[in-house]
A = this chain, B = another copy of it.
Amino acid sequence: MLDEVFAACRDDTSGAPADYIPELAAVAPDSFGLCLATADGLVYEVGDTEIGFTIQSISKPFTYALALADRGLDGVAEHIDVEPSGEPFNEISLQPQTQRPSNPMINSGAITAASLIAGRDTSEKFERVRRCYSRFAGRELRMDESVYDSEARTGYRNRAIGYMLRSVDIIDVDPDDAVDRYFRQCSIEVTCHDLAMMAATLADNGVNPRTRERALSTSLTERVLSVMTTCGMYNAAGDWVTTVGLPAKSGVGGGIIAVLPGQLGIAVYSPRLDPQGNSVRGVSACRELSRRLELHFCHVTRSARTAIRAEYTVAQLPSRLRRSPEDSAVLAEHGERARVYELHGDLLFAGAERAVRAIEGNGTELDALVIDLRRVGEVSTVARDMLEGLQAELVREGTRVALVDPDARLGHEVSSLDPHDPRGRVFIDRDTATEWCEDIVLDRHRPADTSTRTSITLDEHPLLASLGTEERDLLCADFQQRTLARGEVIADRGDPRSGLYLILDGRVRMTFPGTDGRVHRLVTLSAGMSFGEIPMLIGKPFMNAIIADTRVRVAVMSPERFDSLAESHPRLKLALLERLAAAAYAQMDATVRTISGNAGNY
């Protein structure tokens, strides 16, 4: 596409290079380079992108940026306005009302900006300018001495502007020094490739995407881009905004930069200029790129529409903690009182408003809710405030709130244990947050007479409880009881079958390695449940690791005893097998239901 745009613009040889000094007129007039740099630093380029030329007026936004960093927004605003002037760039005039240069993109404003640069002496001041530009470009830039000499010899009009500015105290230092610095900055040599990186740095919030060095703060970058939008293309600004719609700056050296904030930078070099002083091919290439790539800033995206990615109750998508039949029944009945909201995209105001509105809509009827922020990109300050306001409101009305926010996007470095703390609980994964919600629902809705015993005896275990007394006693004798410490690995992935385990007290976790390289919980089991039966039944190794989540008491039947049972009591083994198959099936089914519940994925 860049090649096509290049070819479409190349044939236009109208206009002529600047010739007010011989050094500028000496360029190859039909040079033409075109670069597009993405905000992550990849440069697409075609043509003469490595020819050096002087930056000229494209220096203005960068010196303005350094002046803003040195003096602050207000300090600079006392000297330079930000209004488009509608006048030629080298007009010797000030804004009628304010008596200040209209903006920093015309010569009077740019010379004023040069006068505001900090430094012990004139050489340090210019060195700071040069280093600033170099940070934007990502390499050391140098001045073209012959262009500077020529500018310095002949720049009478700019000297006149300097003295005029000094006469009205807009410049409060030696005007010759400010003008000289302006000549020097205009004479810095760049390539089209450099300019594209400088533009990409503006696009990337002031950070050079290759070196990752910060050249300018985010808020000042926003200001520089604003001024480029209205004032960057001299008196063709309106036409530029309507047909290109990108903050931009051109220079009489033949360069143009244009920036799509957050996304990319464009640079063009072609020295033939139109009557406004903008590169002829530069303007048409930018216009064509904007049209083809739909870069205009008023081109609408709809990211605000989809801030909520998914929404479901804990009854629809339970945690991976396998509950007792009693608790499962309570959650089936009341699980709609706890809800999970997965957000995604960038949370700027409009997206956050949509999300908060939806959550508020049924939030007050809930016992608890989870807001999952893991897929969220940028969170703006206002979105953070809105979510915190929502949490505080919900907590006041009795709804507990958990965040899934492993990267502390909302700035909660620690989780709060206080249930009335509006900051709520913060978890690093959704499953644990869901389990926390289920616990709240169970606390509030479990019938008063329900047993919450977490410990059973072997003959109470459901696998044996329904057998006849004689058979049960026979089997009980085959089990040995063992106690395991918290964190103990009972079986690792790939271990051979080691027994049939019945849980009598505590919790165990089954884990599996995800495609993301992390270990995930498949399910957590507690008293009355069993594990190890599938390796035992089919003779294959453990597929998942089994780890004691707490101190655990289990009863184990050895593989040898299990095998010999078929010989001695085939019918008893058949009964056991049927119960094991049912238990294994119920567990697998619960797992499938948990994992596939979010069926929107399929």
Q: Which A residues are closer than 8 A to B by beta carbons? A: 1, 38-40, 42, 81-87, 102-103, 203, 205, 218, 221-223, 225-227, 229-231, 235-239, 241-242, 245, 247, 260-264, 292-306, 312, 316-317, 344-346, 348-350, 353-354, 357, 377-378, 380-382, 386, 429-431, 512, 514-516, 518, 520-522, 534, 537-538, 543, 566, 570-571, 573-574, 577-578, 580-582, 584-586, 588-589, 591-592, 595-602
Contacts and interface: CB of A to CB of B under 8 A. Distances in A.
Contacts of A235: 83
A335 to B, nearest CB: 12
Q: What is the copy number of this chain in the assembly?
A: 2
Nearest to A352: B293
Given A238-B231, A515-B312, A84 B86 contact: yes
A593 to B, nearest CB: 9
Contact of A516 (B222, B237, B518, B599): B599
A301 B350 contact: no
Given A238-B103, A238-B231, A293-B349, A515 B600 contact: yes
Given A82-B241, A303-B346, A538-B585, 5 more contacts: A203-B300, A230-B237, A302-B346, A305-B377, A431-B602
A414 to B, nearest CB: 23
Greatest chain B CB density within 10 A among A42, A292, A515, A570 is at A515
Contact of A294 (B295, B300, B380, B574): B380
Contacts of A589: 543
A534 B582 CA distance: 8
Contact of A84 (B237, B581, B596): B237
B600 A598 contact: no
Nearest to A596: B595
A473 to B, nearest CB: 21
A258 to B, nearest CB: 13
A503 B317 CA distance: 33
5 contacts: A86-B102, A293-B349, A303-B377, A595-B596, A598-B601
Given A303-B303, A596-B512, A602 B429 contact: yes
A105 B118 CA distance: 41
Contact of A582 (B40, B522, B537): B537
A241 B245 contact: no
A601 B601 contact: yes
Contacts of A585: 534, 537-538, 584, 588
Greatest chain B CB density within 10 A among A42, A222, A292, A520 is at A222
Given A303-B345, A584-B585, A241 B262 contact: no
A295 B348 CA distance: 8
B350 A264 contact: yes
A86 B85 CA distance: 6
A294 B543 contact: no
Contact of A263 (B218, B349, B357): B349
A301 B346 CA distance: 7
A602 B537 contact: no
Contacts of A84: 84, 86, 230, 237-238
B570 A348 contact: no
Contacts of A357: 42
A46 B402 CA distance: 32
Contacts of A584: 581, 585
A6 B591 CA distance: 52
Contact of A354 (B38, B345, B381): B38
A538 to B, nearest CB: 4
Given A570-B571, A599-B515, A39 B304 contact: yes
A222 B241 CA distance: 11
A229 B81 contact: no
Contact of A247 (B247, B298, B317, B514): B298
Given A581-B584, A588-B592, A262 B38 contact: no
A323 to B, nearest CB: 18
Given A382-B293, A515-B312, A515-B316, A262 B349 contact: no
Greatest chain B CB density within 10 A among A241, A357, A514, A570 is at A241
Nearest to A309: B375
Contacts of A378: 300-302
Contact of A520 (B304, B512, B570, B602): B602
B230 A241 contact: yes
A304 B263 contact: yes
Top 7 closest pairs, chain A to chain B, by CB? A514-B599, A86-B86, A83-B238, A262-B300, A263-B350, A538-B582, A293-B349
Contact of A227 (B238, B293, B580): B238
A601 B578 CA distance: 34
Contacts of A543: 589
Given A300-B262, A304-B262, A595-B595, A538 B581 contact: yes
Contacts of A597: 515
Nearest to A575: B566
Nearest to A346: B301
A241 B226 contact: yes
Nearest to A513: B599
A344 B344 contact: yes
Nearest to A533: B581
Contact of A348 (B294, B514, B599): B294
Contact of A40 (B226, B354, B573): B354
